[in-house]
Each structure stands twice: as C-alpha cells, then as structure tokens.
Amino acid sequence: MSENGPDQRDLVVVQWSSLHGFSIDDGIESELIERLSSTDAHEQMERIARLGPTSVDGQELLPGIHIVGFSQGSDPTSRRQCDVVLSIDPPEASSPSASLGHVLRLCELGQWAWDREQDVIRSRDELISTFSEQLSESYEHISLLLFVGRFMNHVTNPLTVMQTVAQEVRRTMKYGWLAMVVLSDRGAAESLAGTSTTIGDLPCSMFALNQACDEYARVHPADAWTRVIDSNDPIIGKLVQTEMLIEPITHRGRTVGMVVCGNKGGRKSDIDSVDIQILDAVADLLGVFHDNLRRHEEQVAMFLGTVGSLTAAIDAKDAYTRGHSERVAWGARELALAIGLDEATAERAHLAGLLHDIGKIGVPETVLTKKGRLTENEFDMIKRHPRIGFDILRGIPSLEDVLPGVLHHHERWDGKGYPTGAAGEEISLFGRILAVADVFDALSSDRAYRKALPRDEVLAEIERSSGTHFDPRMARAFLSLDFERFDQLLKVGHDDGTAAQRTAA
C-alpha cells in the first residue's frame, strides 16, 4: 500500500508476516510487487524481524530498497507480523523539493511509528498489571488453603481454629462479613455443635442467621451444593437482603454447618467462580477438620470411659474410698488452674488424679480394708502401689506425661516419702499437685480406721504440712479453692459407699 502522492514513490508502508510474507496493495508499481514477493526479500525481513525494531538503521532489504522502520506487537504471538516502512531509491538524484518532501514524509512516518509504539507499550503495561494482580490473588488463595490445611491439625481448641480460619478467609477473599455456623442437632462434633463464629458486621442478628441456616440445612440436607444467593432467596436472602455466597460444611454426607459471606470488596466486587472454588475448598478442609474432631472426641470419650471403669474397679475394692479417685482428680485440676497452668495441662492433671491409685490393683483387699494398724510388711505392700501403677501404665504412649504424677503422688517435699524418696522440685509437678489433693481427700473422708475430720482441721493440717509434706506453693494455692463441688462429690461417694456396705452385710 503506497502512502505517497503520485510524484513521490520513495516511501511506502506495507504489511509483513512470517507466514504470508509481504501484503501488497494495488497502488504499488508492479516492479516493486515482484521484488517484494521474492524469497530474498522474505528471508531478509525474517532475519530483521527476529532482531527487533531497535536493529533497524536504514538496513537494506533489497538493492535500492531500505527499511526505515517497523513496529511489532508485545504479545509473543504477534511478534512475527508487523507494519514496515520502506524507502525506495529514486532512479536518479532527487531534486531539492523532492528531498524536502522526503524529509517531511519521514517525519510523519516517524510520528506514526512513535504513536504505534506507545500504544504497544500501554497495552503491554496493562497486560502486565492485570497479570500481576491475578498472580498476587492466586498466591494469596494458595497461601490461604495451605494455612487452613496446616491449622486443621489443632483439635485441642476447635473454637480457636474456627475463629482463626474465619479471619483469614475473610481477609484473603475480601468480604465485608463472614459467618461460620455449626448446627446443634445435625450430628456435629460436641465441642462445636451450636456454635457460631462471625467476622465483620453482619447485616442481621446472629440469632436470626443461625435460625435461617438451620432452616436452609433442612431444606437442602445433602452436601452437594454451593449457592450464590440474593434477596430473592426465601430463607436467607430475605433476611440478609444482599448478594452472598453460602457453602456447606459436611460430615458423612450431611450438612452439619455452613460458611456464609457477603458484601464483597476489592478489585472485583461481584462474586465469581474463583470465590466459589476457594470457599468450596475451605469448606472441604473444615469438613475434614470436623471429621478429625469427631474421631478425637470419640477416642477421648472411649479412653475416659475405660479409665473410669478402671478407677471404679479400684475404688470398689474398699467401700470407704469409693469415689476417691474422682475427688482427687477434681482437686488436681482445680489446683493446677489455681497455680496458673493452662486448661489443657489442668485436664492432664485431672487424668493423673483419676489414675493415681491404679497400682492398688496389686494390693490385697485385706490390706486395703484392714481396720487396725498395718504391720510393717502390710505397709510395704501399700507403698508399692505407686510403682505398680507406673509400670501398668508406662506402655501407653498417650499417658507419658501423667506417669510421673502416678509415681510421685506419695513423695514428700522433705524427701521422706515413697517410693523413690525424691525431695523438693525433684518431685514431678503432677506429683506435687496430687500429693495435696490426695491427702485432702483422705482426711476429708471416712476410712476404715477413723472418721473424716472437720473441714477446718483438714485445712489446718494442709497449712501445717506446707514445706515438709507439701510444696509450699501448692499448699498455699490449695487453701484458696472453693470446695463446693468437692463436697457434692464427697456426698455421692459417701452415699454409694454406705449402700455398698449394707449390701455386703
């Protein structure tokens, strides 16, 4: 295609591609068409195109034909096609007017090339910016799923898990509000059933949203759904009155809860397929977490049931000590909390209390229930029960942290206890806790050889034994406890023990 007037044919603009060669319009002389259609012209242009526009400095395409400039797109798929400005040498020397026209035309073509190049640069910058945003979002989404997946291992405090996950999901997906609702009567894990976790300002009350989610789960009981709903939805939409995304949390094919979020912000304010996929993946991970939590709760319940049966069997050997292990467990837990230990450690202290006397299974009942003074040999049998209990339980990996308490609960701060004679802080923490709780219950309970002491006398004995029998810190903290629950447990144990004695008689 010629861009010159009839008197000037020294500059022309043509199109070229690696596939089709030069595209020639009808306005160009046949001689030039023939020359540009040659293999030499195409191969030379192929070489120049690979080098790029910066390589052009009046390069000769063919004898008498030079390349003044050309433009290429930034997209790799368009780099092998371009607009080319050619300078055609005149057959004889140019007149001054022709030279001036040539310069003016060259300036016009230079401005055209510059504008074209700026368009290409702007297009490239916009493409890079969009790609960078998409890459950043993808990275955040992947990071979110990795974070949630790793955090699912923490089943000791499930409410903290739900709260942390909700915060991270809302932050990453840029929603104004998010709620995680676990339904109360759909087979959810006991520690989560009926709970709600909210982040941001809900457009309605949490109570109303819980009721709507419960109704939604009844209408849509299966787990194979993801909803983008608006105000036309008759259950939740009419309550929230805005577009939202809702995703089920499932257990064994049933909806046990759901994630609801709305008021999306960020670069794209409309809910799209990426949001659906990400929230679907998060809900799947929450479902796995819930399954693990259910199994954990079932295992704990089974384990505690087994422990309860064992301790009941031990306590049953002596009607006077019925309920002793449960009361010591209560005292150990409360004392652990009183000295500043966390809830999880206090629960382990409670477990140590339940198991502390399991070694009495190896002590004859005649010795345990003897009303008179024990002989030296009989007392030696009694003193062996901490070691027997330790040996019974040491093969159970999950009880490793409570074993020192079982072994040391009859050690004394002054080193005069048994079975090891440890003193001071050589005695394990659980051992020092159990020592106080064990003696307190022993003094507060009827025994075969004496009646229970009044409360004030029991507390006075605890205080008097501080620094000799007991760790002073433990004794001091124990004296500050509220014993209302202990008295309830003591009454139940006393009533059961009296009934057992009557049955035996």
| pLDDT, tens digit, 9 for 90 and up, residues 210-221 | 888 888 888 877
Q: What's the mean per-residue pLDDT of the chain?
A: 79
**pLDDT, position 503:** 35
Cα separation, 487 vs 490, in Å, equals 5
Give residue 114's Cα distance to chain centre: 53
**pLDDT, position 140:** 56
**pLDDT, position 127:** 62
> Lowest-pLDDT range, 1-5, 143-147, 151-155, 230-234?
1-5
Has residue 96 got a pLDDT over 80?
no
**pLDDT, position 131:** 53
**pLDDT, position 478:** 97
Has residue 495 got a pLDDT over 60?
no
**pLDDT, position 328:** 95
Q: Are strands 196-200 and 227-229 parallel, antiparallel or unpaired?
A: unpaired
Q: Are strands 254-264 and 11-17 parallel, antiparallel or unpaired?
A: unpaired
> Lowest-pLDDT range, 92-96, 233-237, 270-274, 475-479?
92-96
- The mean pLDDT value for 13-23 works out to 82
**pLDDT, position 4:** 42
**pLDDT, position 167:** 81
Write out the residue limits of the CATH 1.10.3210.10 domain(s) in the chain. 316-504
Cα separation, 351 vs 354, in Å, equals 5
Has residue 144 got a pLDDT over 70?
no
Q: Assign 102 a pLDDT band (cuts: 50, 70, 90).
A: low
For 369-378, the CB contacts below 8 A with 24+ separation are 369/317, 369/318, 369/319, 369/320, 369/448, 370/448, 370/449, 371/448, 371/449, 372/449, 373/449
Q: Assign 422 a pLDDT band (cuts: 50, 70, 90).
A: very high
- Highest-confidence segment of 16-20, 61-65, 113-117: 61-65
- Look at 253 and 7; give whichever has higher pLDDT: 253
pLDDT in tens, 381-410: 989 999 999 998 888 888 899 999 999 999
Has residue 485 got a pLDDT over 60?
yes
- Look at 189 and 119; give whichever has higher pLDDT: 189
**pLDDT, position 239:** 80
The third-level CATH classification (topology) of the domain covering 156-294 is: Beta-Lactamase (3.30.450)
Write out the residue limits of the CATH 3.30.450.40 domain(s) in the chain. 156-294
From residue 244, alpha-carbon distances to 210, 227, 229, 231, 412 in Å are 15, 8, 6, 9, 64
Spell out a b/e string for 44-73, using b for 16 or more CB atoms within 10 Å of the CB, else e: bbeebbeeebeebeeeebbeebbbbbbbbb
Has residue 337 got a pLDDT over 90?
yes
pLDDT in tens, 427-437: 999 999 999 99
CATH superfamily of 316-504: Hypothetical protein af1432 (1.10.3210.10)
Cα separation, 381 vs 373, in Å, equals 14
- Look at 367 and 318; give whichever has higher pLDDT: 367
Burial of 33 (0-12, 13-18, 19+ CB in 10 A): middle
pLDDT in tens, 438-470: 999 999 987 766 788 999 999 999 999 999 999
Has residue 255 got a pLDDT over 50?
yes
> Lowest-pLDDT range, 141-150, 317-326, 342-351, 474-483?
141-150
**pLDDT, position 318:** 62
Q: Assign 162 a pLDDT band (cuts: 50, 70, 90).
A: confident
The two most distant CA atoms of the chain are separated, in Å, by 140
- The mean pLDDT value for 270-293 works out to 80
Q: What percent of the chain has pLDDT over 70?
A: 76
